[in-house]
Structure 1
Amino acid sequence: MGEYVNVGGHRTWCEIQGEGDPVVLLHGGGVTADSWWGQIPALAAHFRVHAPERRGHGRTPDVEGPVTSDLMAGDLIALLETLGTGPVHLVGWSAGATVALRTALRRADLVRSLVLISGGVSRAGSTDADAAILDDTAPLEAMLRPQYEPLSPDGPAHFPVVFAKWLAMWREEPDIGFAALADLPMPLLVMQGDDDGVRICHSAALAGTAPHGQLAVLPGTSHTAPLEKPDLVNRLLLDFLTQPGPPARQFALGALAQAARDHA
């Protein structure tokens, strides 16, 4: 069931289903909460699921001025405080992973556990194919425009405005870096496809740098793993989210992380 939540005078659309501990799903850039169709029912059977749409996405209106992942992390923090969720399991996909990570870094008290799907901490972690998408943007525009126009309260004519903002952000971000992860206190799952827009060595470095990081590489899968293999993604999410705490390990990921950072 979707509804608008008034957050500091700004209307934010949020899909809310289920009961239990709160899980927040952050969609990718330029798409909507509907992209979580394969996860919301499965997770809502165990958790209270919140799937908000960020500023200028889906049914949430745009806000004047440029956008950054840090601004959107601030929006999310305000939303969680307005809803009174307390600490949440936070799951971000693609550009949503950048927002999720920034939220965890800013307000660790609001993040019980963190899942980053197909996200990184620097542009250096992108594959050549991913970088090419931001050079020839016509296919990207053709994919995103039909998702934006029917839903936006700003109207179809506003798409070029938000698309220009997204491109500016995606060409500069993520720009967080590995060092910021060293003190993350919560359990972290890093997930990606084996044919993703993120280099596997980059994700390995990300998971290995965080004190409680885990890595999952999905075979035969690209940047849209939650859509391509929803059952597998759901099994991984439920396994991770229902763990009582960071897993005990026989071998640390530290050495792997250092090697991966050297090549990420």
Structure 2
Amino acid sequence: MPRIDLKELTVHYQQHGEGDDVILIHAFTSNLAVWLLTPTVQRLAEHFRVTAYDLRGHGLTSVTRHGYTSGSLATDLHALHDKLKLNPAFLVGHSFGGVIGLRAALEFPAMVRGVVLSDAYFPGLQHLEPQMGQAEPWRELRDTFAQVDVDLGPTVDFTKLFEVVRGLDEDRLASLRTGMGAPGARWLSQMGQLADTHAGTEMFAVDGLTAERICQVTQPVVALYDEHSPFSATCEFLQQNLPLCAVDIVPGARHLAPVQSPVEFAELVHRHLRRLQSTNV
């Protein structure tokens, strides 16, 4: 499992294929396995050199107490890009990974040829999504934890979630693992890993990525949102305000397209990257 040392952390990454560079950025509380256990890497590696990596504090990358805002994580990405000596790349980011990708496009424009956003939610656009805290994925998670007599509260609160998972006894953890399956078990492990960090608050910080700043993106963007996305207003905003934004929909997905509609997701990402590749030399 290749790792590379950056300024203040060691990053776990994997690389597959040859060709123009594509970097895959997973969601908050996920890891690079989401791309490897689904068709995404295999499909994209047919025509691209694909680099997937674990974000700071995730998977096999170093855990730090701070450094989880979009700006900090975009800086990590830039350092990784430089250290691996990659060419200007297309970025594919799921959920908060998309926020990191768009932030990188703004802060390091020479590094980014285009960005594919997979159901990304932006803290700076929270005014467009007043019901974000009650989105279906959170309601489902709340219901799952209620089965082991844990109340997560009515709205999204990752800091509380980390604390809850850290305090669970083994019996309740075992019940959750059984109910959530293998992906859920991996996710629970990630929760414990982040429990002593400030990630739960920092990833929800606007951190300068306001609506006005988002509108300054000049690279091509694909707003790839799920059929049952909780963030449809965000998708509409991107389509209306970014000069080179194409919109597409992943059928059947509800925010977790890489795992809920894996084949359809991989094909759509591949199709759009090939289109961008042909028009963005």
- With structure 2 as the length reference, what TM-score do the two structures score? 0.75
| Partner SS for 1:23 | strand
Counterpart CA distance in 2 for 1:208 and 1:157 is: 39
For the 8 Å contact 2:224–2:249, the answer to whether it is kept is yes
Counterpart CA distance in 1 for 2:229 and 2:117 is: 13
- Runs of 4+ residues deviating >6 angstroms: 142-145
For the 8 Å contact 2:67–2:73, the answer to whether it is kept is no
Q: 2:200 aligns to what?
A: 167
Q: 1:134 aligns to what?
A: 156
Identity, % of aligned positions? 23
The higher relative CO (CA closer than 8 Å, separation ≥ 6) is in 2
Q: Report the residue type matching 1:98 in the other structure.
A: V
Q: 1:71 aligns to what?
A: 72
- Say whether 1:190 aligns with 2:223: yes
Q: Report the residue type matching 1:228 in the other structure.
A: Q
How many residue pairs were aligned?
238
Counterpart CA distance in 2 for 1:120 and 1:72 is: 16
For the 8 Å contact 1:123–1:174, the answer to whether it is kept is no
Higher deviation after alignment, 176-185 or 214-223 = 176-185
Residue 209 of structure 1: how far off its partner (Å) = 1.0
Match 2:126 to one of 115, 123, 126: 123
Q: 2:147 aligns to what?
A: none
Higher deviation after alignment, 108-117 or 228-237 = 228-237
| Partner SS for 1:56 | coil
For the 8 Å contact 2:252–2:260, the answer to whether it is kept is no
Q: 1:28 aligns to what?
A: 27
Structure 1 residues not aligned, in runs of 5+: 247-264
Q: Report the residue type matching 2:247 in the other structure.
A: L
Q: 2:6 aligns to what?
A: 7
- Matching of residues 1-264 of structure 1 within 5 Å: 2-8=1-7, 10-36=9-35, 37-38=37-38, 39-121=40-122, 122-126=125-129, 127-128=131-132, 129-130=134-135, 132-135=154-157, 138=161, 141=165, 146-147=185-186, 158-162=193-197, 165-173=198-206, 176-198=209-231, 200-243=232-275, 244-245=278-279
Counterpart CA distance in 2 for 1:233 and 1:174 is: 29
Q: Report the residue type matching 1:61 in the other structure.
A: S
Q: Report the residue type matching 2:186 in the other structure.
A: Q
Structure 2 residues not aligned, in runs of 5+: 139-153, 166-175
Counterpart CA distance in 1 for 2:27 and 2:48 is: 21
Q: Report the residue type matching 1:209 in the other structure.
A: N
| Partner SS for 2:195 | helix
For the 8 Å contact 1:95–1:119, the answer to whether it is kept is yes
